[in-house]
Structure 1
Amino acid sequence: METMSTVTGLKGSADVLFLMLGAVMVFAMHAGFAFLEVGTVRKKNQVNAFVKILTDWAVSTFVYFLVGFPISYGISFFKPAEELLGKTQGYDLVHFFFLLCFAACIPAIISGGIAERAKFWPQVTAGAIFAGLSYPLFESLIWGQNASLLQGIFKKIGGAEFHDYAGSVVVHSIGGWIALPAVIILGPRMGRYIRGKSHPIPVSNIPFLALGSWILAIGWFGFNVMSAGNLEKISGLVAVNSLMAMVGGILAALVAGKNDPGFIHNGALAGLIAVCAGSDIMHPLASFAVGVIASIIFVYGFHYEQEVLKIDDVLGVWPLHGVIGSWGGIAAGIFGQKALGGMGGVSFISQLAGTVAAVAFAVISSVVVYGLLSKIFGIRLEEEDEYHGADLSIHKIGAYPEDHVR
């Protein structure tokens, strides 16, 4: 009995360590979000980008701990510390930490779309609502305590439950589609479109943009692989599929984007976003194809969004996370089939239905939240503040303080 108890204790400790390492890797991805945004926005908005991402992380942690995680999984932390630790070495606590990193991606994704002209506190408020209420509600219907409700419908109409192993749809598609109404309600940045003509605003720092992409790509292996939840379920297939999708995205962007460094570094992310849903059931070559298609979607989707629809989505988060996240959900229903070398057990109809449901949920949530915030508080900076930049108007300091010393 003592030996069994020791083995059980070691397994519990190993699972806690496994998930904690994954949580730290995904936490590090938020530095990637920050540098990707800082490298893309103009110098007068770089401090704001850093502060937004960090503040959103802190607020998301608090609201997800108090409200979001209990909504998603029915687990409350309002109990003595001894009970929180329990016999599992605090597995529920580190599970919260890991899944918090997913929830906090929602405001981080939105941040890139609304950059350079959004008011600070209304956006922090919106991020709190999405991380604490809106996202956890949908999470509960796919992964959490209420999954039997919606998943039962998908299984009935498609023959299988909606499959999203690591969040192509639940995290990325939701985040990107939430961002779209926010960007539209805010309107384009000053000077972006003049009398219907596009005037692209150049990025400020390619090395920072590239650094953001690298940090995100490395952390993504925690995002995908550690979604196993415990050590005994770890999958080498997930790791290699993530790698192959990322590489497919890079190479496709290299060609379709004509050597543009912005497209190449975002191409890596496009592949990784798309593969999340089916990374545990697809063949590596299928994952490569999924990444290639995702990157092509981003290159041409970004141009269509910016130049045809004239939507000033600064980092292109709608095509990158919203559209490609949706592609990832649908792709799992195609390339997860045994006929294409996949593991099977997935339905194209269910994948399509789940993806459409997520899009509808995200858009409605965003329109309601940003519509109310816009009417009650206003969500856009005053024209003069936007002209001088969010750094000085909101934080009273620029990214390079020496430049202002006389």
Structure 2
Amino acid sequence: MIKLKSKARIILITFALVTLFLASPAAAESEYTIEGLIADLDVYVILLSAFLVFIMHAGFAMLETGFTRSKNALNILLKNFFSMSVGVVAYFFVGYSLMYGASYAGFTSFNGFFLMGAHDELADFLFDAVFAATAATIISGAVAERIKLSSFVIIVAFMTAIVYPVAGHWMWDDNGWLVGLGFADYAGSTVVHSVGAWGAIIAVLFLGARIGKYDGKKVNTIPGHNLPLGALGVFLLWFGWFGFNTGSALAFEVNEMVHVAVTTLLAASAGVIGAALLSLAKYKKVDASLTFNGALAGLVGITAGPDVISPLGALIVGLIAGFILVIAVEIIDRGLRLDDPVGAIAVHGVNGVWGTIAVGLFATDVGLFYGGGAGQLITQVIGVVAVLAWVFVAMGAFLFVLTRITSIRVSAEEEVQGLDFAEHGSSAYANNLSSMGLGLADRLNIISKNGKTESV
């Protein structure tokens, strides 16, 4: 089996194949060059990776649905659809320009709205847009089962139009002030995952816990209704994450992409093992939901440095991420009393911090454990703190104003009844409607006449 060790070899092989395939008079008249072919391959990598990241949203939807109660399943699915659709549109209108337009002192930009003048950047927009939607959808799981759909849509729009793009400008635009300091976040442990999780914390603080979650000092468990569905969601996320991380090469760089894919796989696998082992040690049983989330913890943990951390380092990062997850879930739920039905804050927030800091420790070129000193580690910490402060201030101010205008939470009666029926007049499961005394056939036979509802 021939191993491709350099981009030069790829170019030579590709050139030979293209020469044979296009050896015709018509092709001979073409001005297509090998440089153009490589540029097209770079775009193809971005496109394919964007499609894989899009699949991750199916994973989020299945995970959140499975980890919550059946009476809210349809509402969860709709929130994930709106995370993608509203998130992409808001990013198109405003977000992309704030993130990648002409920089103002490295903090943000303010030009090129609606992709005006960015026709050569459409592939970049596509890839970044599904990332923006990912940051927004992280909030969905944390606020599940008690937020109004309309309020959630507004939060998604603000997150993807303002909060995520400004943080992204700092860390991913060439002129961003954190880029200038040397901050490294290859695929978004902080840029995407921590930003989404910090936004989730603020939303949960304004929302409060679900009815019945906390009773005095007692913390009650509210189990999800379909863990197999949640497990499917994790596998879909894991699969899509290969595009999330390898696509961040933003070019057809085979060696780099293979390295990133390997470290991504190893970290996720170690995260599963770490979460399973610690849950077994703490609770005398291997907890399924924690173990499933262990894979995501490992993935978030490696996302900042999959290109600069070795395979062995990725195993260590993922294993620690799995440990951190189990500890963080308990602290967040019982200590801080933040009601997060799916563990999004622990997975994406706490392990987003860990993954970002891990670059300063395990990066083979500048990491502390490889003789690089503490410089990169300090820079990583500065980035983590700066982004946390930005999201807390921006989301906090926004939700303060929004909650002065309207309530963002459904009524107690609607929450007990379930958001599927209260907000949508339907259910993901027909038996849920039947238990309410309103079967699907009955609903389909209801029409409105002269402003009055009558059965026929």
Q: TM-score, normalised by structure 2?
A: 0.81
Q: Which has the larger radius of gyration?
A: 2
What residue number does 2:276 align with? Answer: 254
- Among residues 190, 207, 212, which one is paired with 1:169 in the alignment? 190
Query: Does the 8 Å contact 2:61/2:77 carry over to 1?
Result: yes
Task: Determine the C-alpha separation between the residues in 1 that align with 2:29 and 2:257.
Answer: 31
Task: Determine the C-alpha separation between the residues in 1 that align with 2:172 and 2:196.
Answer: 17
Query: Does the 8 Å contact 2:368/2:377 carry over to 1?
Result: no
Q: CA deviation at 1:16?
A: 1.7
Task: Determine the C-alpha separation between the residues in 2 that align with 1:162 and 1:368.
Answer: 27
What residue number does 2:207 align with? Answer: 186
What residue number does 2:308 align with? Answer: 281
What residue number does 1:130 align with? Answer: 159
Unaligned runs of 5+ in 2: 1-27, 102-111, 281-285, 443-456
**1:98-137 residue pairs with structure 2 within 5 A?**
98-137=127-166
What residue number does 2:45 align with? Answer: 18
Structure with bigger helix share is: 1
What residue number does 1:87 align with? Answer: none
What residue number does 2:20 align with? Answer: none
Query: Does the 8 Å contact 2:52/2:243 carry over to 1?
Result: yes
Query: Does the 8 Å contact 1:36/1:209 carry over to 2?
Result: yes
Query: Are 1:31 and 2:58 counterparts?
Result: yes
Task: Determine the C-alpha separation between the residues in 2 that align with 1:29 and 1:337.
Answer: 29
Task: Determine the C-alpha separation between the residues in 2 that align with 1:218 and 1:146.
Answer: 32
Unaligned runs of 5+ in 1: 85-89, 156-160
Amino acid aligned to 1:164: D
Query: Are 1:362 and 2:384 counterparts?
Result: no
Task: Determine the C-alpha separation between the residues in 2 that align with 1:79 and 1:110.
Answer: 30
Query: Are 1:204 and 2:256 counterparts?
Result: no
What residue number does 2:294 align with? Answer: 267
Q: CA deviation at 1:114?
A: 0.5
Q: TM-score, normalised by structure 1?
A: 0.91
Aligned length: 390
- Among residues 91, 96, 104, which one is paired with 1:69 in the alignment? 96
Query: Are 1:49 and 2:76 counterparts?
Result: yes
Provide the secondary structure at the position in 2 that maps to 1:104. helix
**1:252-401 residue pairs with structure 2 within 5 A?**
252-258=274-280, 259-338=286-365, 347-401=376-430
Amino acid aligned to 1:98: F
Deviations 1:301-358 (A, max 9, x none): 1012112222111112111111110111111100114477769697111011111111
Structure possessing the higher relative contact order (Cα contacts under 8 Å, 6 or more residues apart): 1
Structure 1 residues 3 and 106: CA distance shift in structure 2, 3 A:
same
What residue number does 1:221 align with? Answer: 242
Query: Does the 8 Å contact 1:283/1:342 carry over to 2?
Result: no
Question: Identity of paired residues, percent?
Answer: 39
Task: Determine the C-alpha separation between the residues in 1 that align with 2:35 and 2:370.
Answer: 34
What residue number does 2:179 align with? Answer: 151
Considering only aligned residues, what root-mean-square deviation do their CA atoms show, in Å? 2.1
Query: Does the 8 Å contact 1:281/1:342 carry over to 2?
Result: no
Q: CA deviation at 1:51?
A: 0.3
What residue number does 2:10 align with? Answer: none
Q: CA deviation at 1:146?
A: 3.9
Structure 1 residues 79 and 143: CA distance shift in structure 2, 3 A:
closer
